[in-house]
Amino acid sequence: MNLPYLANLNPRPREAYDVAVIGCGVSGANIARRLSAYNVRTVILEKAADVSFGTSKANSGIVHGGFHHNKKYLKARLEIQGNLMFDQLRRELDFPFKRNGIIVAALHEDEMKSVEQLYTQGVENGVIGIELCSRERILELEPKLSPDTVGGLYAPGGGMIEPYRFVFALVESAMKNGVHLYTNFKVEAAAYDALARIESPAAELDKRAGVWTVRAEDGRSIKTRYVVNAAGLYADEVSRIFGGEEFSIKARKGEYFLMDRLTRARPGRVIFPVPTSVSKGMLVIPTVEGTVLVGPTADAVEDKADYSTTAGHLEEILESGKAMVPSLSRGDVITSFAGLRPYLDEDFYIEPSKKAPALVQVAGIQSPGLTASPAIGVYVKDLLKGMGLGLMEKSQWDPFVEDRPRSRELGPYELDALIARESRWGNIVCRCEKVSEAEIVQAVRLGHHTLDGIKYFTRAQMGRCQGGFCTYKILKIIMRETGLSWAELTKHGGKSRLLEAQL
Ligand SMILES: Cc1cc2nc3c(=O)[nH]c(=O)nc-3n(C[C@H](O)[C@H](O)[C@H](O)COP(=O)(O)OP(=O)(O)OC[C@H]3O[C@@H](n4cnc5c(N)ncnc54)[C@H](O)[C@@H]3O)c2cc1C
């Protein structure tokens, strides 16, 4: 069964668009939302069963501080601009965000030279409030640091977000403002007709001919005047499909340990080691939802679907973490996971294609892609304008989405009031993360029909028992709400079927 995403917000699919954004990670979602403020018919084409199922689901969730990279790189300029956009975004959208600050901790005197260079770079990049810290100051800022720490750097503007919730909120906002989304739409073929035209308010403005027909693996197709390739690890394949530039995206794996929210080793700020030439190093990250992440590694892998974790790497992660925060304990580990950075070159590659007409490449969006993503949205909108797309601001753009209550954040009286209105608020489905049945139902009704989609939207299955208690209950709710049969239930769409027999 192919259930529409956010069906109630998107009742009548169209077949002809001004812009098709391929890929719905944090880049595609920000681009689509930005375009939703203009009179432009935009569609997002995503091959997965839900949004944010690519690199945007498994990363450190840090809003970087703007001091790690030189401003000569586009990624550094977009990082700095993107960082500053998060307060406004949080006011408009419903996603967890906290500016708890970033620390770089030097454990040896000889590392202080690199810390000073980072500080100078930060000052040149205009990082607000950046501080070069003595041993006393850094330990005052973060008492969980090892007493061996000799000094460091502090950037108060760095912070944390939940990356998938950020993408969900962006997509909800974009769809509320008229953007369409097709999930399970793996772009496989495209053909360009230079003389064809489609009618739309934006086409009235720019009078530009030329239409792409974009086909999915399953035979569905749409027409569009412009295409944005934001396909993450697969941007090289998508470029080839459109006759664009030849390049090769490599995957660089990052493995993590996730620690329970009850750990006593949770720092107040994100802690970085002094970086190396290939990576920012392994960090200790107090996630915005209360758990602790330790990692990531940085290893080139051949297979772009290789999300495995290895005992050796995890050992290395724990050792690196403990060097900075000695109270980290193996007993607090609840799971491990890995994410894949789409690596092309030292920098992002965001440009109009020189080979394929009306195509913008948004490729090689490695770290700090999450931080830079709101600025990528603006940058790509401006590129499209430069390519001729007629943009007229909508008079009725609504930037806000509803702030939904979460059981675990409510006091007893607030929860009681919700239970009085709807008894499902009183049925806690996920005990570790305190997620109620009402929240699971809400997630399903918004279009999250896989176990992972529900996990990323609600946090159910993310706690200490990792779904041991609630998975069965969630599956029952999905079946009841959607009419899907047990044979159609999946972990993350496609062939990831869960059950061999009826519940
Ligand atoms: C380990 C790790 C840690 C990181 N930590 C941070 C951090 O703390 N802060 C930070 O700023 N950045 C961080 N990053 C970087 C950040 O996660 C990425 O830059 C960002 O998520 C990239 O988003 P994207 O939308 O470009 O790609 P993706 O999220 O991968 O989205 C691409 C989408 O395209 C879809 N797609 C692919 N092919 C097709 C097709 N043919 N048809 C239709 N759809 C298709 C995919 O399914 C996917 O959903 C980290 C990355 C990793 C891996």
Residues 63-119 pLDDT 10s: 999 999 999 999 999 999 999 999 999 999 999 999 999 999 999 999 999 999 999
- HEC letters along 323-386: HHCCCCCHHHEEEEEEEEEEECCCCCEEEECCCCCCEEEEECCCCCHHHHHHHHHHHHHHHHHH
Asked if the model's pLDDT at residue 247 lies above 70, the reply is: yes
Are the beta carbons of 460 and 470 closer than 8 angstroms? yes
What was the pLDDT predicted at 9? 46
Does the Cβ of 183 fall within 6 Å of ligand 1? no
Atom nearest to 255 CA in ligand 1: 1
Q: 299 pairs with which residues across the strands?
A: 253
Whose structure tokens read 């790690």? Answer: 68
Does the Cβ of 151 fall within 6 Å of ligand 1? no
| 480 Cα: distance to centroid of ligand 1 (angstroms) | 32
Does the Cβ of 69 fall within 6 Å of ligand 1? no
User: Residue 454 and residue 178: Cα distance in Å, rounded?
Assistant: 24
Atom nearest to 295 CA in ligand 1: 1
Atom 3 of ligand 1: nearest residue by CA position: 59
| 313 Cα: distance to centroid of ligand 1 (angstroms) | 22
| 340 Cα: distance to centroid of ligand 1 (angstroms) | 8
Are the beta carbons of 318 and 328 closer than 8 angstroms? yes
Q: Among residues 64, 69, 180, 448, which one is catalytic?
A: 64
Whether 64 is catalytic is yes
User: Residue 184 and residue 24: Cα distance in Å, rounded?
Assistant: 11
**Architecture category of domain 9-56+164-249+346-386 in CATH:** 3-Layer(bba) Sandwich (3.50)
Q: Note the residue count of the chain.
A: 503
CATH number of the domain located at residue range(s) 97-160+251-342 in this protein: 3.30.9.10
| 77 Cα: distance to centroid of ligand 1 (angstroms) | 19
User: Residue 164 and residue 408: Cα distance in Å, rounded?
Assistant: 18
Pocket mutation for ligand 1, best pick of 5, 56, 373, 380 (most atoms within 8 Å of C-beta): 56
| 63 Cα: distance to centroid of ligand 1 (angstroms) | 15
In this structure, what token pair is assigned to residue 145? 């640091």
DSSP string of 90-156? HHHS---EE---EEEEESSGGGHHHHHHHHHHHHHTT-TT-EEEEHHHHHHH-TTS-TT--EEEEET
Does the Cβ of 295 fall within 6 Å of ligand 1? no
CB atoms within 10 A of CB 388: 14
Model confidence over 344-388: pLDDT tens digits?
999 999 999 999 999 999 999 999 999 999 999 999 999 999 999
Does the Cβ of 438 fall within 6 Å of ligand 1? no
In this structure, what token pair is assigned to residue 313? 């790497």
Does the Cβ of 291 fall within 6 Å of ligand 1? no
Atom 25 of ligand 1: nearest residue by CA position: 25
To which H or E segment does residue 459 belong?
Answer: none
Buried b (16+ CB within 10 A) or exposed e, 10-41: beeeeebbbbbbbbbbbbbbbbbbbbbbbbbb
Angstrom CA distances, 89 to 38, 64, 173, 369, 405, stand at 18, 16, 11, 16, 18
Asked if the model's pLDDT at residue 277 lies above 80, the reply is: no
What was the pLDDT predicted at 450? 96
User: Residue 329 and residue 261: Cα distance in Å, rounded?
Assistant: 13
Give pTM, 2 decimals. 0.97
Residues 137-156, mean pLDDT to the nearest whole number: 98
Asked if the model's pLDDT at residue 246 lies above 60, the reply is: yes
DSSP string of 245-263? ----PEEEEEEEEEE-TT-
Does the Cβ of 184 fall within 6 Å of ligand 1? no
Asked if the model's pLDDT at residue 405 lies above 50, the reply is: yes
Does the Cβ of 232 fall within 6 Å of ligand 1? yes
Lowest mean pLDDT among 92-106, 269-283, 313-327: 269-283
To which H or E segment does residue 429 belong?
Answer: strand 428-430
E strand map for 173-220: 180-182, 187-193, 211-216
Asked if the model's pLDDT at residue 414 lies above 80, the reply is: yes
Q: Would you kindly state where each structural domain of the chain is located, as residue ranges?
A: 9-56+164-249+346-386, 97-160+251-342, 407-488
Atom 15 of ligand 1: nearest residue by CA position: 367
The CATH number for 407-488, chosen from 1.10.10.60, 1.10.10.1100, 2.30.40.10, 3.60.40.10, is: 1.10.10.1100
Are the beta carbons of 88 and 377 closer than 8 angstroms? no
